[in-house]
Structure 1
Amino acid sequence: MNLDPNLPAMSASTFKPSIWNRLRNAFFTGLLVLAPATITIYVVWRLFVFVDHLLGTALRRGHFRLGGVPSLGFLTLLAIIMAVGFLANNFLGRQIGAVLEGMLLRVPFFRGLYAVVKQVGEVLLGDKRGAFQRVVLIEFPTPGRYALAFVTASPASGVTLPGGAPLVGVFLPHAPNPTTGFLLFYPPETLIPTSLRVEQALKMVVSGGVVNPGTVA
């Protein structure tokens, strides 16, 4: 595929996300940061109180006296969580997860939220992470300014300049939501290698640069 030199050039402002997109990304990122931890802590605490109370009642009925040791409820809850984890890793657990996912996708608001959470999870932890070959610096949006990008297509992908020179495909993610961004093509010699691993670069993008792994180049 050759790039048409007659296509109009895009300025740096073309790549700037709109205010609505920034607000949307900030909202979903805030939910991504707060919701999992808050919900997890709340659910675990409620389960702990329930299991501890249930065990205490059962032991009192059985005339057992353990001096009200709170660790018993915690250990029981830990065993339950591990059992659910083992169940979720097998075929039956995946089937149940698929049913719950289908139900969640029918709820209008949570459908969009779940899609964003799932995409971020796949990028950070799942198979999609392997699609990023390496982390590089590119000049963007203007000369003298640099952005982190992920190489996704080698020169053998078939994208070339009109003279036949190969181009490398890179994905430039939006911060703090790495599931959206731009697919750009650069000559291989213009890419600046970095010492970052893909996981480190993704953490920098999601945190807006707060998580700093050290030297970039």
Structure 2
Amino acid sequence: MSESPERISMAGRLRNNFLTGLIICAPLAITVWLTFTFIDWADSWVTPYLPQRYNPQYYFDVTIPGTGLLIAVLFITIVGFLGKNLIGRSIVNFGESILQRMPLIRSVYKSIKQIFETVLREQSTSFKKCGLIEFPSPGMWALVFIAGDAQGEIAAKLNENGEEMVAVFMPPTPVPTAGFLMFVPKSKIVMLDMTPEEGAKLLISGGLIAPDYNPDGAVVPALPAPRKKAAKARRKGGEETTVIPPAET
């Protein structure tokens, strides 16, 4: 005699449907909201400086989202194109020479430029790997992003014992917008195969969303979709039996 499946109450079904809908709608709504918020922010910076005759809103009398963002992208691209030739490079060097003569502004400009050059460098390996370090005490492990090898004075001071030091960034959970910059011996870091995107998901979710891991590198086949009826009951000789469908190959 087969056991009858446990019935779910109407309230339970409504709750499950609501949670399923929330999982579907919430990420979509948040993504749309963040996208339009960023577009509005870019438009608010660029659109007020456009001459009226170049503003589409002047002709259509309708606000077109993304106009300022598109103009900003085109402007930055053109500046980058001009900055690669001799004339554009000369203009950039002239502007930088003026900034270098300003006591406070030159420090801010130099720091910001170094950050962008490091992050946006095509051959840079910064924050492309994840690892684990023992923190805050032995036996307790924290997820970190590998920034790169220690350089300059820090490398000279810390590498005196022959141990190669690595700069790592350890963000907090669940909002990884700040954190600690630490220099750790390379031998003390457990390197991970997960990508920085997967590591960020793990941090933001508080450990709930863990990336899949297959150490052998083999492709794990997807499980077949569950059948609507796993067993079909039928009566034979007055007895109720259960027929189990054969496994799919």
Shorter-chain TM-score: which interval?
0.3 to 0.5
- Structure scoring higher RCO (CA < 8 A, sep ≥ 6) equals 1
For the pair shown, which has the larger CA radius of gyration, 1 or 2? 2
TM-score (norm 1): 0.46
